[in-house]
Amino acid sequence: MMSGMKHYKETADYINKMYNRQSQLDESLADQMRESEKIADATSQWRLMWRKFKRNRIAVVGGIVVLLFYLVALFGDFIAPYTLEQRMTRYSYLPPQRVYFFAGGRFQPHVYALETGRDPITLQRTYVPNPDKRIPIRFFVEGAPYKLFGLIPARRHLFGVEEGIISLFGTDGQGRDMFSRIIKGSQISLTIGLVGVALSLLIGAVLGVASGYYGGWVDNVVQRLIEIVRSFPPIPLWMALTAALPQHWSPLLIYFTITVILSLIGWTWLARQLRGKVLALREEDFIMAARLAGASDRWIIFKHLIPATFSHIIVISTLSMPSMILAESSLSFLGLGLRPPLTSWGVLLQQAQNTQVLLLYPWLMLPGVFVALSILAFNFMGDGLRDAADPYTV
């Protein structure tokens, strides 16, 4: 009996001990795993890329500008002091107004009231600021109604004036505020890039990866298709396609069709790049291993190949954004893309293409500056991303 009890205690002790040891071991193992995960995390490709990207000053500035542009576009209706429909015909062809920030030593942003008239000889509109009559700029001022994000009805604008006009970038012939129009234009110009790139990404990624992975006749067909598409000069092709658009379509539909048309040509570059990448990857050991383990093609493509080319896809899409924006602008500039009442930078530029603007109203060409700015920003950012995408090379 005694010996029986003792034996039992011994066994229990032993089990306890073993258990403690095991849990200690487990804990240390878990610790180890956590540790290694931490290390792996710290040096993951994304982190490395981010680290490298951050070091590239110009790329960061580009990125910030891009972000800023999109933010302004997102809140455009709120930031713009006027809506697209507001015509202040009393102030047609008003040059950009000067804003004064201090009045009597106090911070009090204001513009001067304008005396309007016509030059007796040239009959040109004249606007003489009257320094004695200050019009204060108010913030969160009530203005024309609009719908924020196209949904929420609102009346408050970021800034505005209660009388007269505030026009930072001047007005056009119908007295429409260029500042507001440029902001509204950015909504279309910038999203057309985004949507267009997304679409071409979809086509390009699927066809490019398939072409590289399967090889053989699939590769042949896709590559010949790319060659055919690429052998067309893009502008005439776009012209033909946009000219075929039925005129009674709603502006929104036209907008989407044009995006589709733009991406129909934009995908080829992406597909080529991805094919090359996949061609190299599919010979790698891990793909071979997956295949030997009996993984299906779908599994390999979606679990291994696409994630492996992800950094490339991002870089390529960033770099093709400017060409999309440019394509929209040039098509609209030629009068083939978007048309009023849709307002994009290209549409604004199209309206500025006459001698009067060149000689008398140069501020109407400001949208061009914004096209250039956005393209530069995207290019800088894209370059930075490209350098960062391959973090292991120096």
Nearest CB to other proteins, comparing residues 52 and 176:
176
- Contact mark string toward other proteins, 360..379, x via CB under 8 A: x-------------------
130 binds other proteins (CB under 8 A): no
Contact between 133 and other proteins (CB under 8 A)? no
The whole-angstrom separation of Cα 292 and Cα 272 is 28
Query: Using alpha carbons only, what angle is made at residue 270 by residues 269 and 274, rounded to the nearest 5 degrees?
Result: 120
Q: Is 83 in the site for other proteins (CB under 8 A)?
A: no
Taking CB under 8 A as the rule, does residue 3 contact other proteins? no
Among the listed ranges 88-96, 98-106, 154-162, 195-203, the one in contact with other proteins (CB under 8 A) is 88-96
Whichever of 4 and 153 has its CB closer to other proteins, that residue is 153
326: helix, strand or coil: helix
Residue 338 CB, nearest approach to other proteins (Å): 13
Is 118 one of the binding residues for other proteins (CB under 8 A)?
A: yes
Omega cis (within 30) before 341: yes
Give yes or no for residue 249 binding other proteins (CB under 8 A): no
Rule CB under 8 A: say whether 231 interacts with other proteins.
no
Tokens matching residue 209: 């990866």
For 274, other C-beta atoms within 10 Å of its C-beta total 28
Candidate residues 1, 2, 5, 123; the one interacting with other proteins per rule CB under 8 A: 123
- The CA angle 320-236-223, to the nearest 5 degrees, is 55
Q: Which is nearer to other proteins, 122 or 393 (CB)?
A: 122
The residue type at 329: S
- Determine which residue in the list 96, 173, 234, 276 makes contact with other proteins, applying CB under 8 A: 173
Asked if 271 contacts 222 with a C-beta cutoff of 8 angstroms, the reply is yes
Supply the minimum distance, in Å, between the C-beta of residue 252 and other proteins.
13
State which residue, 106 or 248, has the beta carbon closest to other proteins: 248
* Binding flags for other proteins, 279-298, as an x/- string (CB under 8 A): --------------------
Residue position matching structure tokens 């199209």: 350
Q: Please tell me whether residue 115 binds other proteins under the rule CB under 8 A.
A: no
One-character DSSP codes across 32-86: HHHHHHHHHHHT-HHHHHHHHHHH-HHHHHHHHHHHHHHHHHHTHHHHSSS-TT-
Coil vs helix vs strand at 248: coil
Angle at which helix 178-214 crosses helix 366-389, to 10 degrees, equals 30
346 part of the interface to other proteins, by CB under 8 A = no
- Radius of gyration for the chain, computed over Cα atoms and rounded to the nearest angstrom: 31
By CB under 8 A, name the binding residues for other proteins. 85, 87, 89-90, 92, 118-119, 121-124, 173-175, 247-248, 335, 339-341, 351, 353-356, 359-360
